[in-house]
Structure 1
Amino acid sequence: MYALKREFIKYTDQIGITGSFICLVHCIITSGVMIGSSFLSHSAHHHHDHIHHVHHLDMWGMIDISMIVISGIAVYFSTLKCSAESLQNKLMWASYIVYTICMLSKYVGFEPMWLSGLSYAMSFTLIGLHFRNIKNCNH
């Protein structure tokens, strides 16, 4: 069992990179679809109220939650590879926490545009930190 755990930990950075990349693609595609549908509805002179727009835990919501969980597992096990006090670990956890807050805030109705940008930035940061972790912390 220990050998299986060691092998899993060995690849958590790759899992984290893949999860963050999939999250970016998912967010960019769904944002594009929402912007496109909003543009079409406004160009057709339809009124669409964005004030009470709240996300629900539908299929897309479950994808969001699964990306948060996968990223959290990847960060947890990836940070086991470096010393507990390393700046790398602190940055990875801080990025993950900000990413999680950004992702979950839309389910309470708080979704300003800058928060989406921050979420994208945290996904890119996590990808970069996982790459750095592969280079510096794999034993």
Structure 2
Amino acid sequence: MYALKREFIRYTDQIGITGSFVCLIHCIITSGVMIGSSFLSHSAHHHHDHIHHIHQLDIWGMIDLSMIVISGIAVYFSTLKCSAQSLQNKLMWGSYIIYALSMISKYIGFEPVWLSGLSYAMSFMLIGLHLRNIKNCEH
């Protein structure tokens, strides 16, 4: 069992990179679809009603929440590889917390445009930190 845990911990940075990358792709595609459908709706009907994308716990919401959980697990186990007091670990946890809060806030109705940018930035930050973790903190 210990060997299995050690192998899992060994690959948590790769899991974190993959999760953050999938999140970025998902968010970019979803945003593109929302903008495109809003544009088509405005063009086809020639009116100015705004279509609001409401985040719900449908299949896409479950994907969002699962990405938050997977990223959290990856950060937890990835930070076990470096010393507990390292700046790397603090940055990783800080990035994850901001990422998770920015994603969850959409489901309580708080979704300014800058929050999406912050979420993207934290996803990129997590990818970078996981890559750095692979280089500097492998046992």
- Mapped partners of 1:49, 1:19: distance in 2: 29
2:92 matched to which residue of 1? 92
* Runs of 4+, deviation exceeding 6 Å: none
Q: Residue 105 of structure 1: SS of its match in structure 2?
A: helix
Q: Which amino acid aligns with 2:26?
A: H
1:129 matched to which residue of 2? 129
Question: Could you tell me how far 1:90 is from its partner in structure 2?
Answer: 0.2
- Mapped partners of 1:118, 1:77: distance in 2: 24
Q: Which amino acid aligns with 1:48?
A: H
- Mapped partners of 2:82, 2:51: distance in 1: 48
2:68 matched to which residue of 1? 68
TM-score by length of 1: 0.95
Question: Could you tell me how far 1:42 is from its partner in structure 2?
Answer: 1.7
Count residues in correspondence: 137
Residues 41 and 48 in structure 1, CA contact (< 8 A), matched pair in contact too: no
Q: Which amino acid aligns with 2:50?
A: H
Q: Do the aligned partners of residues 93 and 138 (structure 1) sit closer, same or farther apart at CA in structure 2, a change above 3 Å counting?
A: same
Q: Residue 54 of structure 1: SS of its match in structure 2?
A: coil
- Mapped partners of 1:78, 1:128: distance in 2: 13
1:59-78 CA distances to partner (integer Å, 9 max, x unpaired)? Answer: 00000000000000000000
- Mapped partners of 1:126, 1:48: distance in 2: 34
User: How high is the sequence identity, in percent, across the aligned residues?
Assistant: 85
Residues 54 and 108 in structure 1, CA contact (< 8 A), matched pair in contact too: no
1:2-47 CA distances to partner (integer Å, 9 max, x unpaired)? Answer: 0000000000000000000000000000000000011111222242
1:3 matched to which residue of 2? 3
Question: Could you tell me how far 1:49 is from its partner in structure 2?
Answer: 4.7
Structure 2: runs of 5+ lacking an equivalent:
none
1:48 maps to 2:60? no
Residues 103 and 119 in structure 1, CA contact (< 8 A), matched pair in contact too: yes
Residues 99 and 122 in structure 1, CA contact (< 8 A), matched pair in contact too: yes
Question: Could you tell me how far 1:115 is from its partner in structure 2?
Answer: 0.4
TM-score by length of 2: 0.95
